[in-house]
């Protein structure tokens, strides 16, 4: 599956409201510098798993899941309060767009016109520009069904926002299921052709946020190829095999086992994997991560063709987060489902262009379970 487009019929989905306070709780979380009210939603399923989401950035603030002894821990690296999210930080938990990852030289051409974007990553544009979707306050509604509970976030990205064409109506729906999975469903429509590539930038530590590095975590990624890049992480347009390289995780391996072999500054994984077709129907995982001490396991399922594996290389001890923890290098990892970086400039890559009359649709699920010692 490449981009999942379906014919546009009607308007964006509307949410169902519920007053079931023990299922979805909405409380104030503070105000932005502009005075906008920010709310936090707490979702809990029948097994005790909790997810907290904030309207600022449509952000995952926390995910609490049990270890193999039933002890709960928050596995999301981030902040306890809104103040942290309002500062400059490395996209902790945010919804990323209009285009996630990098666009080379901060420009692209579409329908005969060149568009210039903010160069906020050297000469390139990264994660939507200077004020991407993770820096916007979204409208939110609770969703309650018989088995699931969730939150739907919506906003309109205006024509010209961060240099992108078209008025885009966006929806991101987070659903907590009773099998300890957090499902994220993205949708968008536009009145002008525009690139769309959405993801979530959650940093995970399955030992618990602030509990050391993720180097002993074990990971498997269902990909035999990656998008080859130049030294600034812009794809060349060619695919490269992972076999025989330090980024080969077709079989389980420790994240830290070969990380120092990565030729990058700072050293660490920041690679887009080309997912095998077997993972694109949501029946087989795109990736699985295991933390040996707690027995926690996270499976990632996605309809997207790519997955960015990032190991918190730029965390340098300057950010204090939850419970006063200092976030150092490798204290969290990201698995960002996506179309390939710089696809808008690479005709050989799956297209990211959304046209009027079409609807963008994408789903990614993070499922949590445990294994015995």
CB under 8 A, 24+ apart: contacts of 62-69 = 62/209, 63/182, 63/202, 63/366, 63/368, 65/180, 65/296, 65/368, 66/296, 66/370, 67/294, 67/295, 67/296, 67/370, 68/294, 68/295, 68/296, 68/370, 68/371, 68/372, 68/373, 69/295
Active site residue 36: no
CA dist., res. 188 & res. 196, Å (int): 8
Domain total in the chain: 1
CA dist., res. 200 & res. 196, Å (int): 14
Active-site residue, from 161, 291, 299, 336: 336
Active-site residue, from 89, 124, 201, 271: 201
pLDDT of 65 strictly over 50? yes
Domain hosting residue 137, numbered range: 4-370
pLDDT tens sequence across 243-300: 999 999 999 999 999 999 998 889 999 999 999 998 888 989 999 999 999 999 999 9
Active site residue 336: yes
- Model pLDDT, residue 281: 82
CATH number of the domain to which 116 belongs: 2.70.98.10
Question: What is the average pLDDT value for the chain, to the nearest integer?
Answer: 93
- Model pLDDT, residue 18: 37
């Amino acid at each position: 599956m490449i981009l999942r487009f379906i014919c546009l019929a009607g308007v964006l989905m509307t949410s169902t409201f519920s007053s079931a306070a023990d299922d979805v709780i909405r409380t104030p979380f503070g105000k932005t510098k502009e005075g906008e009210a920010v709310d936090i939603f707490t979702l809990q399923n029948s097994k005790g798993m909790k997810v907290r989401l904030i309207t600022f950035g449509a952000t995952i603030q926390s995910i609490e899941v049990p270890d193999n002894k039933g002890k709960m821990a928050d596995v999301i690296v981030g902040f306890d309060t809104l103040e942290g999210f309002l500062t400059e930080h490395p996209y902790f938990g945010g919804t990323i767009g209009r285009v996630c990852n990098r666009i080379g030289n901060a420009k692209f051409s579409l329908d005969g016109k060149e568009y210039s974007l903010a160069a906020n990553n050297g000469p390139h544009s990264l994660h939507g520009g200077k004020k991407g979707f993770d820096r916007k306050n979204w409208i939110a509604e609770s969703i309650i069904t018989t088995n699931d509970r969730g939150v739907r976030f919506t906003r309109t990205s205006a024509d010209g926002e961060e240099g992108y064409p078209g008025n885009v109506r966006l929806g991101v729906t987070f659903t907590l299921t009773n099998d300890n999975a957090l499902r994220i469903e993205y949708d968008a429509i536009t009145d002008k052709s525009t690139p769309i590539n959405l993801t979530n930038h959650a940093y995970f530590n399955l030992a618990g946020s602030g509990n050391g590095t993720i180097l002993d975590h074990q990971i498997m990624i269902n990909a035999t190829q990656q998008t080859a890049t130049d030294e600034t992480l812009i794809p060349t347009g060619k695919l490269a095999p992972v076999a025989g390289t330090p980024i080969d995780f077709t079989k389980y391996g420790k994240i830290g086992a070969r990380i120092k072999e990565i030729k990058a500054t700072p050293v660490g994984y920041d690679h887009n994997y080309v997912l095998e077709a077997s993972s694109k129907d949501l029946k087989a995982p795109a990736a699985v991560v295991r933390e040996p001490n707690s027995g926690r396991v996270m499976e990632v399922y996605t309809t997207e063709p790519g997955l960015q594996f990032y190991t918190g290389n730029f965390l340098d001890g300057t950010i204090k987060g939850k419970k006063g923890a200092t976030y150092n290098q490798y204290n969290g990892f990201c698995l960002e489902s996506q179309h390939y970086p710089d696809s808008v400039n690479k005709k050989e890559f799956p297209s990211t262009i959304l046209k009027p009359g079409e609807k963008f649709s994408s789903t990614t699920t993070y499922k949590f379970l445990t294994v015995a010692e």
